Amino acid sequence: MKYLVKLVVVMFAAVLSLGAISTASADKLKVGFIYIGPPGDHGWTYAHDQGRLMIDNMLGEHVETTYVEGVPEGPDAERAIAKLAETGHKLIFTTSFGYMEPTLKVAKRFPDVKFEHATGYKQADNVATYSARFYEGRYVQGQIAAKISKSGIIGYIASFPIPEVVRGINAFMLGAQSINPDMKVKVVWAYTWFDPPKEADAAKVLMDQGADIITQHTDSTAALQAAAARGIYAFGQASDMIQFAPDTQLTAILDDWGPYYVKRTVDVLMGTWSSGDTWNGMGPGMVGMAPFTNMPSDIAMMARETAESIRTGAFHPFTGPIYNQAGELVVAAGEVAPDFPMLATMNFYVQGVDDKLPE
Amino acid sequence: MLRLEPRSTQSFAAAWLSPVMALVLTAITGGVIFLAMGKDPSTALYIYFVEPLTTTSGLSEVAVKAGPLILIGIGLSFGFRAGVWNIGAEGQYIAGAIAGGGLAVYFHDSESTLLLPAMLVLGTLGGMTWAAVPALLKTRFNANEILVSLMLVYVAELLLVHLVQGPWRNPQGWGFPGTRMFPDVAIMPLLFAGKRAHLGTLITLAIPFIAWFILARTRFGFTVRVFGSAPLAARHAGVHSHRMIWRSLLIGGGFAGLAGVIEATGTIGQLMPDISPGYGFTAIIVAFLGRLHPAGVLLAGIAIAVTYIGGEGAQISAGLPKAVTGLFQGIILFYLLAFDLFTRYRIIVSSRTTE
């Protein structure tokens, strides 16, 4: 993927030198970002900010980037997004699910501005959506957890019961079951993306219930550190968090937004941007895994092999037979769950998840 | 040895000068902080405190943000004057949004122009109902209204989360907690095309004038003022403390509930878990910053709103972190409390005491 990006950038530079586009330093393209947390969360927002910095590094001569951090998913979001549009930003990335309606509202008011909404499902002529197949990494984590757990209970800190999160829990469960069919996953719904004390509390509740491995779908390093304090293993989320828990992190799902951000920015510069939906995984490099640490080498080897077979497309985490909690067969043996509608709108648990989906 | 001694008389001018001085000193302190961060203080202060007021969209946003703060702050100031400590306006705001917004969820196909007014009424009643609980417990069992009203904030938050992810969840919402978008007739009309200021903003900005009239010109306003400053005298004059507790909480709750439903129908257009960025709590600061006077609350609401809007502008055009906004609000309150201390007390430097 990175080579692809470099190629795009080189092509772009070539076009520029031909004089197809003239960008004086005075009229650089302004690209804006709306963040749910601070870039210092070392998780979700940090990963998006790394993507922003990649734009700076590769296109800094033609592009200027800006971000607004800690924008709540409520009445304030629309104002912050509109403020970026009003201040001359022509490409705006809104990086949390709850920005969907405000992004669409502002997009209506600023038809000449391009918007990119992460993890949403509503597009418009000037609103594209993008997300990553995090569930691919979840499956690998599930396998590792099942190999390492002694209690057979995994604690899962979930944020909101939306398809993206439910998909992650299911992929994790399927990965764990592929090693040990009796594995249990306990879920705590935190109803927040970023709230370190709440995330840590959720981890403690799960550990008190016997979980000896913690994984999370929230943005900070708090849960990982809570696990470290009790001396059990855990997974990082969205970024490599190893520096916060060197003896605890088994691996982390890495979000690599940079190449996509660079490509979309180049699209705007060249006038070839168009709306659409992008959903990439390990294959194109939007999802990666942090080094497999704190585990025996045979388990690391297994994890690497699983990740590799997912990356090459040889294996899909949602390969049947898959049963729902009621025991009904939802994906037949040997078949792969389709993106639409099943994966995109997933609102059921697979068999074995020790939780009731909030209704 | 330093010690504080209450002043026998309190200067009226000092009481009103202290918020002004607090703002001035905050600006100076802020300038020093910007300097330490390597930013030009005058530019940064301009972006923070002036720029939001220089464009029409900035003014519109300040009005939208100040609206709920002022409305709740006014409602609370009645109670605070009478010595009734309603800390749970956040919960009453949410209860109002639930009660009013629920109507739009239920009648999501409606095209009746009566829907919006009905929602406003229900929202106000919802906030009053939530505030009636601490009033009842206070007058019946002498339960502390600070604790009861605060606890009910969490109850309201959990009730809202339950509703928007359960019975009221948008069937087309892919499982994300949130109701359907309200029908068009349940959305506040915009005042200007392309700006977010809406009819509800106008209502919230008109409230201080009505409140001023009630306080200054009605018998009820008089009793509120007397009750707060001299409860014993008020009792002799026949003002019942129970009635005052009920009225204070119902006014505070009603205004907060109205603010909640106005926000839901004005800027959001649906119910979702994050309908308040802490308006009910920030309004307590606004009420005191405004000296519990309607005109003061109006100005204080605008001042606090400006720091929020300016904070976003500073992130975009000066690359300043969001934390600076919180820092500013904290510094304002710190200076205000400090000045208040000195208007009420004098410092006595006592000579060595005999031991």
Query: In this complex, which of B194, B313, B322 lies closest to A83 when CB atoms are compared?
Result: B313
Residue B355 has pLDDT above 80, yes or no: no
- pLDDT at position B20 is 85
Same domain membership, residue A228 and residue A269: no
Residues of chain A contacting residue B161, judged by C-beta atoms under 8 Å apart: 191
Answer yes or no: is A28 within a domain: yes
The domain tally of chain A equals 2
DSSP A290: -
Per-residue pLDDT of A28-42, as tens digits, reads 999 999 999 999 989
For residue B220, what pLDDT is reported? Answer: 84
Query: What was the pLDDT predicted at B173?
Result: 78
Given a cut of 50, is residue B40 above it in pLDDT? yes
Same domain, A6 and A145: no
Do the chains contact at A109 and B194, CB–CB below 8 Å? Answer: yes
Q: Which residues of B touch A160 (CB under 8 A)?
A: 176-177
Helix axes of B199-217 and B294-318: crossing angle, nearest 10 degrees:
150
pLDDT at A6 over 80: no
DSSP letters for A308-356: HHHHHTS--TTBSPEEBTTS-EEE-TT-B--IIIIITT--SPBTTEES-
Q: Where are the domains of chain B?
A: 1-28+321-355, 70-294
Residue A22's pLDDT band, with cuts at 50, 70 and 90, is very low
Q: What is the pLDDT of residue A23?
A: 46
Say which residue the tokens 């068009």 belong to.
B184
What pLDDT score was predicted for residue B351?
66
Question: B250 or B82, which is more confident?
Answer: B250
List of residues 6+ apart from B122 with CB closer than 8 A: B99, B100, B102, B103, B261
pLDDT in the model for residue B330: 86
CA distance B107 to chain A (A): 21
Residue A124 DSSP label: B
A270 with A238, same domain: the answer is no
Minimum Cα–Cα distance from A32: chain B residue: B316
Same domain, A95 and A224: no
Are A270 and A124 found together in one domain? yes
Residues A226 and A330 in one domain: yes
**A93–chain B nearest CA distance, Å:** 14
Q: Please state, for a pLDDT cut of 70, what percent of chain B lies above it.
A: 96
Per-residue 3-state assignment (H helix, E strand, C coil) for chain B: CEEEEECCCCCHHHHHHHHHHHHHHHHHHHHHHHHHCCCCHHHHHHHHHHHHHCCHHHHHHHHHHHHHHHHHHHHHHHHHHCCCCCCCHHHHHHHHHHHHHHHHHHCCCCCCCCHHHHHHHHHHHHHHHHHHHHHHHHHHHCCCHHHHHHHHHHHHHHHHHHHHHCCCCCCCCCCCCCCCCCCHHHCCCECCCCCCCEHHHHHHHHHHHHHHHHHHHCHHHHHHHHHHHCHHHHHHCCCCHHHHHHHHHHHHHHHHHHHHHHHHHHHHCCCCCCCCCCHHHHHHHHHHHCCCCHHHHHHHHHHHHHHHHHHHHHHHHHCCCCHHHHHHHHHHHHHHHHHHHHHHEEEEECCCCCC
Predicted ipTM of the assembly: 0.84
Distance CA B181, CA A212 (A): 42
Average pLDDT over residues A185-189: 95
Q: Fill in the amino acid letter for B183.
A: P
Give the DSSP H/E element, type plus range, for residue A173.
Answer: helix A163-179
In chain B, residues with a C-beta closer than 8 Å to the C-beta of A79 are: 61, 64-65, 196, 309, 312
Whether chain A has a CB inside 8 Å of the CB on B154: the answer is no
**Domain CATH for A266:** 3.40.50.2300
Same domain, A45 and A188: no
pLDDT-based confidence at B244, cuts 50/70/90? confident
Is residue A347, in this structure, part of any structural domain at all? yes
Are residues A103 and A224 both part of a single domain?
A: no
Chain A: closest CA distance from residue B86 (Å): 24
Q: Is A271 buried (19+), middle (13-18) or exposed (0-12) by CB count in 10 A? A: exposed
Check if B327 contacts A (Cβ < 8 Å).
Answer: no
Chain B interface, mutation test: which of A49, A56, A68, most B Cβ atoms within 10 Å?
A68
The structure's pTM equals 0.88
Please report the residues numbered 171 through 190 in chain B whose beta carbons come closer than 8 angstroms to any beta carbon of chain A: 174-177, 181
How far away is chain B from the Cα of A75, in angstroms, using its nearest Cα? 6
Question: Cβ of B263 and A70 within 8 Å?
Answer: no
Do residues A68 and A170 both lie within one domain? no
Contacts of B12 (CB under 8 A, 6+ apart): none
- Cβ contacts of B57 on chain A, cutoff 8 Å: 82, 86
Beta carbons within 8 Å of B209's beta carbon, 6+ residues apart: B294
Is the same domain home to A216 and A189? yes
Tens of pLDDT, residue by residue over B269-322, are: 999 988 998 999 999 989 988 889 999 999 999 999 998 999 999 899 888 888
B268 → closest Cβ in A75, A163, A359? A75
Say if residue A208 is in the same domain as residue A140: yes
Look at residue B250 in the predicted model and tell me its pLDDT. Answer: 96
What was the pLDDT predicted at A25? Answer: 47
- A349: containing domain: 135-254+288-354
Q: According to the model, what pLDDT value does residue A31 have?
A: 97
* pLDDT, tens only, A287-316: 999 999 999 999 999 999 999 999 999 999
Check CB contact under 8 Å for A162 and B277. Answer: no
Per-residue pLDDT for B200 more than 80? yes
In this structure, is residue A359 part of a structural domain?
no
- Mean pLDDT over residues A255-284, rounded? 96
Judged by a CB distance cut-off of 8 A, whether residue B312 touches chain A is yes
Q: Higher pLDDT residue, B16 or A231?
A: A231
